[in-house]
Amino acid sequence: MKILVCVSKTPDTTSKIAFKDGNTKFDDAGVQFIINPYDEWYSLVRAIELKEKDAATVIHLITVGLADAEPVIRKALALGGDEAIRVNADNADSFYIASQIAQIAKDGAYDLVFTGKETIDYNGSSIGGMIAELIDAPYISLATKFELEGSTASVTREIEGGEEVNEVALPLVVSCQKGVAEQRIPNMRGIMAARSKPLKVVEPANIEALTSIESFELPPAKAGVKLVDADNVDELVRLLHEEAKAI
């Protein structure tokens, strides 16, 4: 059983977002980078749990990024996983990234590919679906529960207004979110072990990106809160009805 866990480097959830070079690049000055929470808390931890149940399971982590992504992938290895692969390329676009990962997923004959439900920077929720299409495997998105019985997976996924329980044979691509696993903190043993785990660097396949980011912008600043006196709730209702037209 071979699992490929996709890991992305993202700014910390509390980062102040700013841009540079005429709003064409993310300004990473003073920004702390973390493992994308959905990749870490849910897909990586669930993979580790599967390995704890079946020691024959092999977990490989993969990231597409330049050398500055290595501290984050080492941190992921401290939680668990046998080795990591870094595709040595800048993140051109979702199709580019998914194509790189799909190539490795195919060559490595992985049974299961895990992604987080989205990254907290680009919020595309696209990589898992694209990988699945490129390797011609089923895709279960927004999973809240993942169980494995032999080579059949039982996956609960979010649908509008509820959830659906799916049964599907491997190979399979799954995007994970809250519910699949619980967050873990790496321990000292894990951190030490991560230092000696293999981190392979591979050169990217020749893929053309299909989109490019022209510029960024910040949302217009809020005009400021209009405070209403606690004894004058009717005034809030009037404002919501007449001014905001929200009720």
Partner 1 sequence: MKVLVFIDQAEGHVKKSSYEALSYGANVATLVGGEAVGVILGEVKDDLTSLGKYGVKTIHQVQSSSLNNVDAQVYAKTIADAVSAVGASIVVFSHNQTGKAVAARVAARLKAGLVAGAVALPKVSNGFTVKKSVFSGKAFANVSITSALKVISLNPNSFNIQLVEGTATVQPLAIEVTASKVTVKAVNKVTGEIPLTEADIVVSGGRGLKGPENWGIILDLAKTLGAATACSRPVGDAHWRPHHEHVGQTGVQVAPNLYIAVGISGAIQHLAGVNRSKVIVVINKDPEAPFFKAADYGIVGDCFEILPKLTESIKRLQAKG
| Nearest approach, Cβ of residue 13 and partner 1 (Å) | 5
| Nearest approach, Cβ of residue 238 and partner 1 (Å) | 8
Q: How far apart are CA 195 and CA 60, in angstroms?
A: 15
Residue 71 phi, psi (nearest 5):
-60, -40
Instruction: Tell me which amino acid residue 217 is.
Output: E
| Nearest approach, Cβ of residue 197 and partner 1 (Å) | 27
What is the footprint of partner 1 within residues 120-149 (CB under 8 A)?
Answer: 120-130, 132-134, 137-142
CA separation (Å) from 200 to 39, 49, 88, 98, 203? Answer: 19, 24, 10, 18, 10
Q: Does 236 contact partner 1 by CB under 8 A? A: yes
Q: Does 50 contact partner 1 by CB under 8 A? A: no
Q: Does 31 contact partner 1 by CB under 8 A? A: no
Q: Does 161 contact partner 1 by CB under 8 A? A: yes
Task: Identify which of 79, 69, 10, 77 has the alpha carbon closest to the alpha carbon of residue 38.
Answer: 10
Name the token pair of 138: 């089923």
Q: Which of 58, 89, 202, 239 binds partner 1 (CB under 8 A)?
A: 239
Q: Which of 13, 21, 109, 188 binds partner 1 (CB under 8 A)?
A: 13
* Contact in structure between 233 and 120 (CB atoms under 8 Å): no
Q: Does 93 contact partner 1 by CB under 8 A? A: yes
What is the footprint of partner 1 within residues 167-196 (CB under 8 A)?
Answer: 167-169, 177-179
Give how many residues touch partner 1 by CB under 8 A: 79
DSSP state of 140: E
| Nearest approach, Cβ of residue 121 and partner 1 (Å) | 6
Q: Which of 49, 58, 95, 106 binds partner 1 (CB under 8 A)?
A: 95
Q: How far apart are CA 244 and CA 247, in angstroms?
A: 8
